[in-house]
C-alpha cells in the first residue's frame, strides 16, 4: 500500500516554475501587443464639461483614443449589478468610461491605446478634461448627515437598509440585569495584491474568436460578462486566468471596466491590446473595504451571559455598488462568532461616498464583525470583573448543540446553520499555547523592568465554502498522466498541489503524475470563482467526486482485462492489481488505452485498443451502453449551505511608555478548518492572513481628505507591513471534519485575517488600561488616547 | 507629431549572457529586462522603489530595477531570478530553500526576494554564513510580500544559508 | 507610471559634466543614484527636459578621510560610506545614521551627496551634515564654492545647488574633543521616513562631565534643525545628566507639522523623548571611545 498523500505537508508542485522566473503573470504575456492607459478623474465629484484630445493626437505611437461617446451599445452601458438583493433598492454601477459625471478620484474617463505604455501615458497627459465641480461626500459621517448627495437620485445616500431579528432584542436588553452601549469603528483598507489587475486580449478575426487573459478570481464569470457586453456567442470567447499575483478579494469583483474595454478595443482595432494596472491606478481605481461605524447595545446577566444584542451599523460602500451588499451582510451575520447572542437584532445602512468603491477584501466584513463582538465580550468582562476567557466560555455554542441554527439568513441566501465545531476545546488549546493563565506573572516581571505589556484574545466563526457549486474534470491519459481541471482560479493558494493530493489519494497514483489546471475556460467552462474560503471545499470535493467516477470506470475496464471482479481490485501507485494476488496487474495507462476503443493506433501502446488486437465479445458494443470513451469523468459538488470553520487568536503586545510604539511579542493561533489536505499550505494561509490582520490593526488605512483625495496612494504611505512588522506566528490545529462534504473540509483562506483588530485592540487595552474603540491604531493615536485619559482622570 | 525619441544602444551582461537592445533613455531597467530582453521573471509591483519585487543584482549588488534607467547601467553585469539557478538548470540554493520552506504563495514578489537574499548571502560571505532568525528577518526587510506573512521566507533565508554551507563543504572536499 | 521623455547626457568626466550642465542651465537635472528622483519621474511629478547622468564619474566615487573630517564624493553610494571601516572609526555617526536610510537595496544605489541635494527634511543625512556643521562643495565650469550646511538647506526639497551646478562632494567634519554620537528615530515601519529622528553629539570634559550637547532633527521642520542643548546639561556627569531636561528644551523650540502618520503634538513629544535617548546614547558613546 502506498503511503497517504492526502493530509501530508508536501512541497508545492507550482514552486519550481515560479521560483525560476518561469511564471506567466498577466504582464509577462503579449510583448507585441498595443498598450492601454487611462485618463482618470483627479476629482472626487464633478460633471464632465468637455474632453479635448487634440494635443494628444500629436503623440507618436498613438493608436486610438476612446471616450464614453465612442463606445457602442452595450459596451458603454453601466456595468452589471453582480449580486442583486431585495434590500439593495438603490444600486448604482459605474460606466466603463464615465458618462457626464465622475464620482471618485480614479474613475476612468478616457482610454488611450498606443504602441507602448510610455507613449500611452504621454498621450493621457496631453488630454484636457474640463469639469464642473460638485461637492464631494467623504466618510461615513458626512454621508450619514446627507446634507450632500453622491447620486442626485439616491435619498440620504443610502443604497441599502437591512434588518434581521431573532427574538425581541430591545426588550431582552431592557429586562437584562446589566447593559452596555459601545461605539466601535473600523477604517478603510484594501486587498492590495502585489500584482495589480491586468487584461490582455487577442481577437482572431478569421476565427471570429476572442481570447482574454485577465488577472481575475472568476474567469468563467468574466467570460460570460464579456460575451454579453460585446455581443459575442459565448463559445467564441475564452478567458484565462494566468498566474495571478495575489487577489485577496479585489479580483473577484468583475467585470472591471478594463475587462470590457480592452477586449472591445482589440476587436475594434484588430490588434492585440494589453493593460497592466500600475500601483497608483490600483489605489484609486480598484476597490477598498472595511470602513464601518457600529453601535452596540448589549444586555447580560451576572455571569456575563448574553441576553440580548442589538447592533446598528453604517457601511461605507464607496461610489458604486456593483458587488451588491455582501460585505455588510457578512458582518451582520458573522459577528455572532462562536456565541449564542440571546435575542439578536441587527440593522445596517449601506452608504454612498465619493470614494473608491467597496468590494470584499479577505475576511469581507468578518474582521469588522469580529471586532464588534470581541470588543463587546471584553467590555462585559471588564464590567463584571471577570476573566475575558470566562465570559467567552459561558457564551459559547457547545459541541453537542451542533448543528446550530441562528435563525438568520447568511450571505449565500441559506440559513445560518453552523455544521460543527468544538469551541471550548479550541479555547482550551489557545490558552495553553499562549500561556493565558500564567500571563500575570509575565506582566509583573515586565512591570518591574519598566515595561508595559498586555494580552488579548479574539474568537471567530467563519462561514466558508458557499455554493452554488464547482466542478472537476479528471482524465487519465494513455501515458499515465492524470489531467485535472477545475474552473475556479488560483492566486497562490497552492491548488495545483492540494487538488493533486486529493486526486492522487482517491485514484491511487503518485502525486507527481497529476497535473492540475485552474481558471482556464478552455479547460473547464462551469465555475463560480475563488472567494469566501471556498476553493478547497468546493473544487476539492468536486475533483474527489470526479476521481471516484474515474476510479470506478478504471476498475470496471481493468476487471474485464484481468478477468476479475472489480470489487477485488485496488489501484496502487498507478497500477491496478488484484488484492492479495501478486502478478495480476495492469497499469492505469493501459486501462486508459483500453477505455478508448480505436480503429487507428497512433503509437505502440495504443495498438492494444484496435479491433484485431484481442478477442472480444462480439455481441457487445465496443463501448457499453450509456458509456463514453476515455478514462475520464466530470463531477460537480454543490453543497446545501456553507460550512463553518472557526479559530481563536491571542497576542501579547508591548507598548512603549514613552513613544507609544506598539510591538507584538507573541501571536498565537488555534485554527479548525476541518480536515487538512496539506497542513503546510493551510499554515501559509494563516500566516498571510495574520500579517494582513496586523496590517489592518496597526498600519494600513486609506486616508482621504475632505475633498476626496486619497492622500496615501503609494506604498510609501499606505503602510503594508514588512517582515520587521509581522510577528512570528505560533499555530496549533484542531480538526473537526465538516459533515457537509465528502472530504470533511472547511475553508481556510480568510481565517488568519479575521480577528486581527479584535485581538490587538484587546491586547493594547490590556496593556494600557485605556478603552480602544476604533482601529487601526497608530502610535500617534495611542499617544493622544493617553493624553486624553490622563486629563480625564 | 511629436519628434521621435532619441534611442540609445544598451549592452548588458545578463545572467552571464551579453545582451543588447536599442531603447529610449527613459526605459526603466525593469521594463528593459522584461519587455526588451523578455526576461519576465523580474516583476514590477510598485514602480516607486518600495516593494522590492523588481530587485536584481547590478554588478553584484541588489538594486531596484524600477529605479534606474537601462541606459544608465550600460555595460553592467546584471543577475535576475532566472540567473539564480544552478548551472545544470536546477533550483539554486535560495530557490530550493523557498520550496523547502513554503516561502512563496502567489509567487509575484518572490523573484525580488530570491535576488535580495542571494545578494545578502553572497555579499559578504564571512558575515552571513549562518544568519539567525532576527538577522534573516532584517535581510528581507526591504521587500513586501502580501501572501506569506514572511515567516516561511525568514525560514528560507536560514535554509538557503544551510544549503550553501553544505555546497561549500562539498566543494572543498 | 512611466517617466516622461527627457534628453539624456552621460558625461565621462567632471569637466564634461560641468560643461553639459552649464549648457543646459535650468533645463538640466543631475541624475545620481536616482532613488528619490526616479520615483518622482515615474509618477510624472517631475519631468525635467534633460537628465545629466553622473554615474560614470568614478573619480567622484570616493569616501576619503581627511584631517578635518570625512569627504564623500558625489557618486559614492550610501552603502560605500556605511561600510567603510576607516570612516566608521573616524566618524561613527555616518554609519549610525545611514543604517536608518531606507533599506540596504536602496543604499546600494542611492548616493549620500544626492540625498543632501534632494534636501528632503526627512532625510537622515541632511541632519547629520547640519549637526556636524559640514559643508557641500558646489562646482560649475567656472568656479567652485563651498556652502555650509546652515546655508545649504533652503526648504523642503530645495538646496543651494542651482541651475548648471554640480554638488561634487560633501564634507563631514570630525567633532572636537571627547565626543560621542548617536542616531535615534521612530518610523512607522522599519526603513520608512522617520516621524521624528534625532542625531546627537555630546562632548565630555576630562572628568566625563558634559561639556557640550547638540542635537539635530529630521521630519520636524522644512529643513533639518540643529539645537544646542548644552544649557540643560552642562557640567553634569555623563551617566546622570538630566537628559529629559535637554529633551524638553529642544521640544519647546520645535514647531513640527502634522501629516497622515502623526500629529504635531506627537512629533513634539517624540522629539523630547528621542532627544533624551539620543543624548544619553551619545554620552555613553563618548565615554566608551
Regions of chain A where pLDDT drops below 70: 1-3, 793
Q: Do B71 and C104 touch (CB under 8 A)?
A: no
Read off the pLDDT band of C145 (50, 70, 90): very high
- pLDDT of B126 over the 70 cut: no
Nearest to A450 by CA among A667, A727, A655, A663: A655
What architecture is the C1-174 domain classified under in CATH? Answer: 2-Layer Sandwich (3.30)
> Measured between CA atoms, how close is C5 to chain A, in angstroms?
8
Answer whether A32-134+197-244+251-285 and A467-637 agree in fold.
no
Task: Locate the domains of chain A by residue range.
Answer: 32-134+197-244+251-285, 386-464+641-792, 467-637
Q: What integer pLDDT is reported at residue A421 of this predicted model? A: 94
Please tell me the distance from the alpha carbon of residue A696 to that of residue C236, in angstroms, as a whole number: 46
Nearest to B2 among A58, A686, A726 (CB): A58
Task: Indicate the average pLDDT of chain C.
Answer: 97
A280 contacts C1? CB cut-off 8 A:
yes
Topology of domain A386-464+641-792, CATH: Aldehyde Oxidoreductase; domain 4 (3.30.365)
Instruction: Return the C-alpha torsion angle B129, B134, B135, B140, nearest 10.
Output: 120
Query: Which of B108, B131, B144 to mutate to probe the A interface, most A CBs <10 Å?
Result: B108
Architecture per CATH, A32-134+197-244+251-285: Alpha-Beta Complex (3.90)
Q: What is the distance of C-alpha A212 from the center of its chain?
A: 22
> How confident is the model over B129-167, as pLDDT tens digits?
899 999 999 999 999 999 999 999 999 999 999 999 999
Q: In a 10 Å sphere around its CB, with 0-12 CB exposed, 13-18 middle and 19+ buried, how is residue A570 labelled?
A: middle
Query: Are B78 and B110 found together in one domain?
Result: no
Buried (b) or exposed (e) across C210-236, using 16+ Cβ within 10 A?
bbbbbbbbbbbbebbbbbebbebbeeb
CA-to-CA separations, C66 to A506, C89, C98, C125, in angstroms, rounded:
75, 13, 20, 19
Q: Does C109 touch chain B (CB under 8 A)?
A: yes
- Do the Cβ atoms of B8 and C8 come within 8 Å? yes
- From C31, which residue of chain B is nearest by alpha-carbon distance? B72
Residue A611 has a CB neighbour count (10 Å cut-off) of 10
How far apart CA A262 and CA A201 sit, in angstroms, is: 6
User: How distant is the Cα of A121 from the closest Cα of chain C, in angstroms?
Assistant: 7
Neighbours of chain C (3+ CB pairs under 8 A): A, B
| Domain CATH number, residue B63 | 3.10.20.30
Contact yes or no for C200/C179 (Cβ under 8 A): no
Looking at the domain assignment, is residue B167 inside a domain?
A: yes
Q: Does B111 share its domain with B162?
A: yes
Nearest beta carbon to residue B68 from set C7, C103, C109: C109
- Report pLDDT digits (tens) over C73-125: 999 999 999 999 999 999 999 999 999 999 999 999 999 999 999 999 999 99
Q: Helix (H, G, I), strand (E, B), or coil: what is residue A607? A: helix
Chain C contacts in chain B segment 75-94 (CB below 8 A): none
Q: Which residues of B touch A491 (CB under 8 A)?
A: 106
Give the pLDDT of residue A788.
Answer: 95
**Domain boundary at B62, B84, B106, which?**
B84
User: Strands across the sheet with B77-79, in order?
Assistant: B17-24, B7-14, B77-79, B55-58, B61-64
Task: Taking each helix axis as running N to C, give the angle between helix C243-253 and helix C264-288, from 0 to 180 degrees, rounded to the nearest 10.
Answer: 140
Q: How many helices (H) and strands (E) does chain C have?
A: 12, 14
B67 with B25, same domain: the answer is: yes
A790 contact C CB<8A: no
Three-point CA angle A678, A679, A680, nearest 5°: 90
Among chain A residues, CA nearest to C43: A280
Range of the domain at B110: 93-172
Interface of B with C in 4-63 (CB under 8 A): 5-6, 8, 24-26, 28, 31, 47-49, 52, 55, 58, 61-63
Angle of CA points C129, C135, C139, to nearest 5° = 135
C178-288 CATH choice from 3.30.450.20, 3.50.50.60, 3.30.390.50, 3.10.450.50 = 3.30.390.50
Q: Are residues B71 and B126 in the same domain?
A: no
Based on the domain organization, do B71 and B108 belong to the same domain?
no
3-class DSSP state for residue A179? Answer: strand
Q: Bridge-partner residues for C147, per DSSP?
A: C136
Cβ distance C273 to A278 less than 8 Å, yes or no, reads no
Q: Which fold has domain A467-637?
A: Aldehyde Oxidoreductase; domain 4 (3.30.365)
| A28 contacts chain B (CB < 8 A) | yes
From the list A278, A719, A783, which residue is nearest C188 (CB)? A719
Question: Residue B123: pLDDT above 80?
Answer: no
d(CA A238, CA A161): 38
Distance between CA atoms of residues A137 and A150, nearest Å: 6
pTM here? Answer: 0.97
DSSP E strand boundaries for chain C: 7-9, 28-31, 50-53, 63-66, 69-73, 135-139, 144-148, 153-155, 158-159, 166-173, 178-187, 194-204, 210-218, 225-228
Length of chain B (residues)? 173
Supply the pLDDT for residue A1. 39
Q: Distance between CA atoms of C94 and C101, rounded to whole angstroms? A: 11
Our CA angle for A782, A788, A791, nearest 5°, is 140
Contact A118 C2 (CB under 8 A): yes
Least CB–CB distance from A19: residue in B26, B95, B137: B95
pLDDT of residue A793: 64
Task: Report the number of distinct structural domains present in chain B.
Answer: 2
CA distance A54 to A128: 9
Amino acid at each position: 500500500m502506498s503511503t497517504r498523500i492526502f493530509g501530508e505537508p508536501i512541497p508545492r508542485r507550482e514552486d519550481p516554475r515560479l521560483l525560476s522566473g518561469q511564471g506567466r503573470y498577466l504582464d509577462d504575456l503579449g510583448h507585441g501587443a498595443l498598450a492601454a492607459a487611462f485618463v482618470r478623474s483627479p476629482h472626487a465629484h464633478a460633471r464632465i464639461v468637455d474632453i479635448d484630445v487634440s494635443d494628444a493626437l500629436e503623440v507618436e505611437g498613438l493608436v486610438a483614443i476612446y471616450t464614453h461617446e465612442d463606445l457602442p451599445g452595450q459596451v458603454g452601458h453601466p456595468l452589471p449589478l453582480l449580486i442583486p438583493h431585495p434590500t439593495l433598492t438603490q444600486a448604482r454601477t459605474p460606466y466603463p468610461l464615465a458618462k457626464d459625471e465622475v464620482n471618485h478620484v480614479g474613475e476612468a474617463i478616457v482610454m488611450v491605446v498606443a504602441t507602448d505604455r510610455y507613449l500611452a501615458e504621454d498621450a493621457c497627459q496631453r488630454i484636457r478634461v474640463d469639469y464642473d465641480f460638485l461637492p464631494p461626500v467623504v466618510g461615513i459621517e458626512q454621508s450619514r448627515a446627507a446634507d450632500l448627495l453622491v447620486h442626485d437620485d439616491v435619498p440620504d445616500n443610502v443604497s441599502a437598509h437591512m434588518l434581521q431579528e431573532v427574538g425581541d432584542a430591545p426588550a431582552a436588553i431592557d429586562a437584562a440585569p446589566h447593559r452596555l452601549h459601545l461605539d466601535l469603528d473600523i477604517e478603510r483598507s484594501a486587498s492590495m495584491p502585489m500584482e495589480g489587475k491586468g487584461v490582455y486580449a487577442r481577437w482572431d478575426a478569421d476565427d471570429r474568436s476572442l481570447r482574454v487573459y485577465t488577472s481575475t478570481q472568476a474567469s468563467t464569470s468574466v467570460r460570460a460578462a464579456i460575451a454579453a457586453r460585446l455581443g459575442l456567442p459565448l463559445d467564441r470567447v475564452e478567458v484565462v486566468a494566468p498566474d495571478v499575483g495575489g487577489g485577496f478579494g479585489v479580483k473577484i469583483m468583475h467585470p472591471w471596466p478594463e475587462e470590457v474595454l480592452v477586449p472591445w478595443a482589440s476587436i475594434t482595432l484588430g490588434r492585440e491590446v494589453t493593460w497592466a494596472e500600475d500601483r497608483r491606478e490600483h489605489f484609486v481605481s480598484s476597490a477598498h473595504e472595511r470602513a464601518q461605524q457600529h453601535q452596540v447595545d448589549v444586555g447580560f446577566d451576572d455571569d456575563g451571559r448574553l441576553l440580548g444584542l442589538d447592533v446598528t451599523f453604517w457601511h461605507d460602500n464607496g461610489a458604486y455598488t456593483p458587488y451588491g451588499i455582501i460585505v455588510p451582510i457578512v458582518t451582520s451575520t458573522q459577528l455572532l462568532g462562536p456565541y449564542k447572542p440571546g435575542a439578536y437584532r441587527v440593522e445596517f445602512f449601506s452608504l454612498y461616498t465619493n470614494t473608491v468603491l467597496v468590494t470584499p477584501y479577505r475576511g469581507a466584513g468578518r474582521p469588522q464583525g469580529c471586532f464588534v463582538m470581541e470588543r463587546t465580550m471584553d467590555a462585559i468582562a471588564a464590567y463584571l470583573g471577570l476573566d475575558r476567557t470566562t465570559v467567552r466560555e459561558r457564551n459559547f455554542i457547545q459541541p453537542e448543540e451542533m448543528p446550530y441554527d441562528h435563525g438568520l439568513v447568511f450571505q449565500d441566501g441559506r440559513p445560518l446553520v453552523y455544521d460543527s465545531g468544538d469551541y471550548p476545546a479550541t479555547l482550551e488549546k489557545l490558552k495553553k499555547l499562549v500561556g493565558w493563565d500564567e500571563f500575570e506573572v509575565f506582566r509583573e516581571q515586565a512591570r518591574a523592568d519598566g515595561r508595559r505589556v498586555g494580552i488579548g484574545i479574539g474568537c471567530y466563526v467563519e462561514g466558508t465554502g458557499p455554493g452554488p457549486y464547482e466542478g472537476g474534470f479528471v482524465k487519465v491519459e494513455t501515458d499515465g498522466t492524470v489531467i485535472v481541471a477545475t474552473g475556479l482560479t488560483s492566486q497562490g493558494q497552492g491548488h495545483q498541489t492540494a487538488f493533486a493530493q486529493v486526486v492522487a489519494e482517491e485514484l491511487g497514483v503518485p502525486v507527481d503524475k497529476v497535473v492540475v489546471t485552474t481558471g482556464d475556460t478552455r479547460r473547464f467552462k462551469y465555475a463560480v470563482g475563488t472567494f469566501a474560503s471556498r476553493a478547497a471545499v468546493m473544487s476539492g470535493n468536486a475533483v474527489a467526486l470526479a476521481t471516484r467516477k474515474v476510479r470506478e470506470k478504471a476498475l470496471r475496464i481493468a476487471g474485464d482485462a484481468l478477468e476479475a471482479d472489480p470489487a477485488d481490485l485496488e489501484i496502487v501507485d498507478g497500477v491496478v492489481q488484484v488484492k492479495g494476488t501478486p502478478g495480476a496487474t495492469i497499469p492505469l495507462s493501459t486501462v486508459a488505452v483500453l477505455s478508448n476503443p480505436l480503429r487507428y493506433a497512433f503509437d505502440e501502446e495504443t495498438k492494444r485498443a484496435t479491433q484485431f488486437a484481442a478477442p472480444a465479445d462480439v455481441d457487445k458494443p465496443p463501448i457499453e451502453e450509456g458509456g463514453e470513451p476515455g478514462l475520464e469523468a466530470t463531477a460537480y459538488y454543490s453543497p446545501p449551505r456553507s460550512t463553518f470553520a472557526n479559530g481563536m487568536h491571542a497576542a501579547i503586545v508591548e507598548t512603549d511608555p514613552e513613544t507609544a510604539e506598539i510591538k507584538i511579542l507573541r501571536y498565537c493561533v488555534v485554527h479548525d478548518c476541518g480536515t487538512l489536505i496539506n497542513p503546510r499550505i493551510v499554515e501559509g494561509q494563516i500566516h498571510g492572513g495574520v500579517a494582513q490582520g496586523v496590517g489592518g490593526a496597526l498600519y494600513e488605512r486609506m486616508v482621504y481628505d475632505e475633498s476626496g483625495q486619497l492622500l496615501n496612494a503609494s506604498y510609501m504611505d499606505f503602510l503594508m507591513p514588512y517582515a520587521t512588522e509581522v510577528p512570528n506566528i505560533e499555530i496549533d490545529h484542531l480538526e473537526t471534519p465538516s459533515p457537509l462534504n465528502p472530504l470533511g473540509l472547511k475553508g481556510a483562506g480568510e481565517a488568519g485575517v479575521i480577528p486581527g483588530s479584535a485581538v490587538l485592540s484587546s491586547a493594547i487595552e490590556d496593556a494600557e488600561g485605556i478603552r480602544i474603540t476604533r482601529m487601526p491604531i497608530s502610535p500617534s493615536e495611542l499617544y493622544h488616547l493617553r493624553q486624553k485619559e490622563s486629563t480625564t482622570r | 507629431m511629436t519628434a521621435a525619441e532619441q534611442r540609445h544602444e544598451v549592452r548588458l551582461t545578463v545572467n552571464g549572457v551579453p545582451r543588447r537592445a536599442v531603447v529610449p533613455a527613459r526605459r526603466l531597467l525593469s521594463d528593459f529586462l522584461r519587455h526588451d530582453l523578455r526576461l519576465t521573471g523580474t516583476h514590477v509591483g510598485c514602480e516607486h522603489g518600495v516593494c522590492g519585487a523588481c530587485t536584481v543584482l547590478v554588478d553584484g549588488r541588489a538594486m531596484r530595477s524600477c529605479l534606474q534607467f537601462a541606459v544608465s547601467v550600460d555595460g553592467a553585469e546584471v543577475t535576475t531570478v532566472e540567473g539564480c539557478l544552478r548551472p545544470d538548470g536546477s533550483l539554486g540554493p535560495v530557490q530550493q530553500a523557498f520550496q523547502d520552506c513554503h516561502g512563496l504563495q502567489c509567487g509575484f514578489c518572490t523573484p525580488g526576494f530570491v535576488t535580495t537574499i542571494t545578494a545578502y548571502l553572497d555579499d559578504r560571505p564571512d558575515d552571513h554564513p549562518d544568519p539567525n532568525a532576527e538577522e534573516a528577518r532584517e535581510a528581507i526587510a526591504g521587500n513586501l510580500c502580501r501572501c506569506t506573512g514572511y515567516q516561511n521566507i525568514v525560514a528560507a533565508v536560514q535554509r538557503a544559508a544551510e544549503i550553501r554551507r553544505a555546497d561549500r563543504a562539498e566543494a572543498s572536499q | 507610471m512611466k517617466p516622461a521623455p527627457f534628453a539624456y547626457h552621460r558625461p565621462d568626466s567632471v569637466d564634461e559634466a560641468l560643461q553639459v550642465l552649464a549648457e543646459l542651465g535650468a533645463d538640466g537635472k543631475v541624475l545620481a543614484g536616482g532613488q528619490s528622483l526616479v520615483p518622482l519621474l515615474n509618477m510624472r511629478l517631475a519631468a525635467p527636459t534633460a537628465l545629466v547622468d553622473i554615474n560614470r564619474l568614478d573619480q567622484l566615487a570616493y569616501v576619503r578621510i581627511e584631517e578635518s573630517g570625512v569627504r564623500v564624493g558625489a557618486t559614492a553610494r550610501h552603502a560605500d560610506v556605511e561600510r567603510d571601516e576607516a570612516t566608521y572609526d573616524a566618524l561613527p555617526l555616518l554609519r549610525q545614521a545611514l543604517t536608518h536610510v531606507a533599506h540596504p537595496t536602496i543604499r546600494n544605489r542611492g548616493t549620500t551627496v544626492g540625498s543632501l541635494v534632494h534636501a528632503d527634511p526627512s532625510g537622515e543625512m541632511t541632519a547629520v551634515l547640519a549637526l556636524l556643521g559640514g559643508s557641500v562643495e558646489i562646482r560649475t565650469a567656472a568656479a567652485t564654492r563651498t556652502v555650509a550646511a546652515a546655508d545649504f538647506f533652503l526648504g523642503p526639497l530645495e538646496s543651494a545647488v542651482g541651475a548648471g551646478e554640480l554638488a561634487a562632494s560633501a564634507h563631514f567634519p570630525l567633532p572636537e574633543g571627547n565626543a560621542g554620537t548617536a542616531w535615534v528615530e521612530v518610523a512607522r515601519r522599519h526603513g520608512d521616513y522617520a516621524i521624528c529622528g534625532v542625531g546627537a553629539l555630546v562632548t565630555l570634559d576630562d572628568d566625563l562631565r558634559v561639556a557640550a550637547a547638540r542635537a539635530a532633527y529630521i521630519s520636524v521642520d522644512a529643513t533639518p534643525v540643529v539645537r544646542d542643548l548644552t544649557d540643560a546639561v552642562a557640567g553634569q556627569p555623563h551617566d546622570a545628566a538630566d537628559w529629559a531636561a535637554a529633551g524638553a528644551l529642544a521640544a519647546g523650540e520645535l514647531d513640527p507639522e502634522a501629516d497622515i502618520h502623526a500629529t504635531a503634538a506627537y512629533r513634539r513629544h517624540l522629539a523630547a523623548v528621542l532627544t533624551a535617548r539620543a543624548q544619553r546614547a551619545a554620552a555613553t558613546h563618548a565615554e566608551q571611545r
